[in-house]
Amino acid sequence: MNVVIWGTGKKALWVELHIKDKVEIKGIIDSDKNKVGKFYLINNMQYPILAPDGINDLECDYLIVAVENEKYCAEIQNQLNNLGFDDSKVIFVSKIEQYDDVVIEELFNSEALDKCNEGFFFINGKRMVCPKDYPLVRFKKEHFMYDEFLPVLVSNAKADGVIIDIGANIGDTCVALSKHRNMKFVCVEPSYYFYEMLVNNTDELRTEKRIAYEKAFVSNKSGNYVAELKNGTGIMRQDAAGAESENKTLDMIINDNEIDYNELFLIKIDTDGYDGSVLLSGKDVLKRGSAILFWENQIDTYEQYSDYKDAYDLLSYSGYTTYFVFDNRGNYLCDGGIDNVRDICDYLQRIKTGWSTKTFEYVDVMACKNNEIPICLAAKDEYLKRYKYPVIIDDRN
């Protein structure tokens, strides 16, 4: 199937990343005369930039208008009408949910079907129930690398194993990773609100007997906690009135689910600032196991900052030698030893305490022991090869 893309902005990059391999891009249309005759470079592929008046000469099955601004969409529609282009071949990305699902599924992979505002969206063809205006899809539209690394990591695994997902939310990470290998999952989510969606969204994995659930907080601390809903997530907050969920340690989660340390491939943690506390609750598995760790290094309080510093000491003592750091939009920053992570944590703390202007809000950190370094390096290299930004980007689109 042949397609032509209209637009040279970020949305055109999004289209190219999400279009199916069987679709051939014949060229890029743009009204800017200064761009016509040049090439649009994406992922080592060059596409000629053509003027709109030659669109009828192109043999294409569909024209995908990769523009979201309503004003520009209206102008493009008028141009196409004046050129007499077949309207049945035109697909506006900004209105993708209005087109026939069969046509869209022929063109795009399922992640392109963004219907977040209606309370659901798609991951790997799976319809995910989510809160209305769920921020994940907006983030992924605005930041192309957001949440894209872990699927690459899992696809590089040498064998199937077990993934612990702490702070599983609605199950988006679990579903995204489930298609790459036949991994098993233990998903931990303390919020009643998100837990119900998690169970609903992972029904296929439940049928395949590949998933177990824990409705619990994970921490090295005692006390009663509730999950305060904020911006599409549940933030752990102490409440003397009573606990929303049981409080467990990471070691308890693994022992209660009878997981052999040798079977653990990945422990993913996303608890909005409490990841250090989670790590500190897993002294046994960190010392005796060799699972790859991936956590969100977010700091909101001094106590959290202190927990991270203690967790780094524990990781170093437990044999974790190599650390890979990503910014909070998924872009890779650097790798090195634990001292590099300590320095970045101090950097974030200075921002949090007001000594510096904000650059990024937090970082994601992957840690591994020596035996898993080749897998992590291979995943990093493959990941970075996927993101070759185009030479020409028109931000107004």
Contact predicate 379/152, CB 8 Å: yes
pTM: 0.72
Return the residue matching tokens 């001292």.
339
Phi, psi of 156 (to 5 degrees): -90, 0
Whether pLDDT at 381 is above 50: yes
Is 268 inside a domain boundary? Answer: yes
Phi, psi of 266 (to 5 degrees): -145, 135
Tokens, residue 215: 């409705």
Task: Give whole-number Cα distances, 394 to 42, 117, 180, in Å.
Answer: 14, 26, 34
Contacts of 343 (CB under 8 A, 6+ apart): none
Same domain, yes or no: 104 and 204: no
Is 344 inside a domain boundary? Answer: yes
For the segment 340-361, the average pLDDT, to the nearest whole number, is 92
Task: Give whole-number Cα distances, 351 to 93, 282, 301, 343, in Å.
Answer: 38, 29, 12, 13
The CATH code of the domain that includes 334 is 3.40.50.150
Is 130 inside a domain boundary? Answer: no
Is 259 inside a domain boundary? Answer: yes
The predicted pLDDT at position 321 comes to 97
Q: Which domain holds residue 71?
A: 2-112
Q: pLDDT tens digits, residue range 310-326?
A: 999 999 999 999 999 99
Q: pLDDT tens digits, residue range 204-220?
A: 999 999 999 999 989 99
The predicted pLDDT at position 116 comes to 43
Q: pLDDT tens digits, residue range 261-292?
A: 999 999 999 998 999 999 999 999 999 999 99
Q: pLDDT tens digits, residue range 216-247?
A: 989 998 766 566 656 556 565 655 555 667 88
Could you tell me the sign of the dihedral formed by the alpha carbons of 171, 338, 321, 304, in that order?
negative
The CATH code of the domain that includes 59 is 3.40.50.720
- Tally of domains in the chain: 2
Contact predicate 272/233, CB 8 Å: yes
The predicted pLDDT at position 103 comes to 73
Is 12 inside a domain boundary? Answer: yes
Task: For 106-115, give one letter per residue: b (16+ CB within 10 A) or e.
Answer: ebbebbbbbe
How does strand 292-297 pair with strand 363-368? antiparallel
Shortest CA distance to 249 belongs to which of 289, 213, 222? 222
The predicted pLDDT at position 191 comes to 87
Task: For 147-186, give one letter per residue: b (16+ CB within 10 A) or e.
Answer: bbbbbbbbebbeeebbbbbbbbbbbbbbbbbbebbebbbb
Same domain, yes or no: 102 and 191: no
Q: What share of the chain is helix, strand, coil (3-state, %, to 5)?
A: 40, 25, 35
Q: What confidence category does residue 21 fall into, taking pLDDT thresholds of 50, 70 and 90?
A: low
Contact predicate 284/317, CB 8 Å: no
The SS3 call for residue 7 is coil
Is 125 inside a domain boundary? Answer: no
Same domain, yes or no: 48 and 174: no
Is 167 inside a domain boundary? Answer: yes
Contact predicate 89/66, CB 8 Å: no
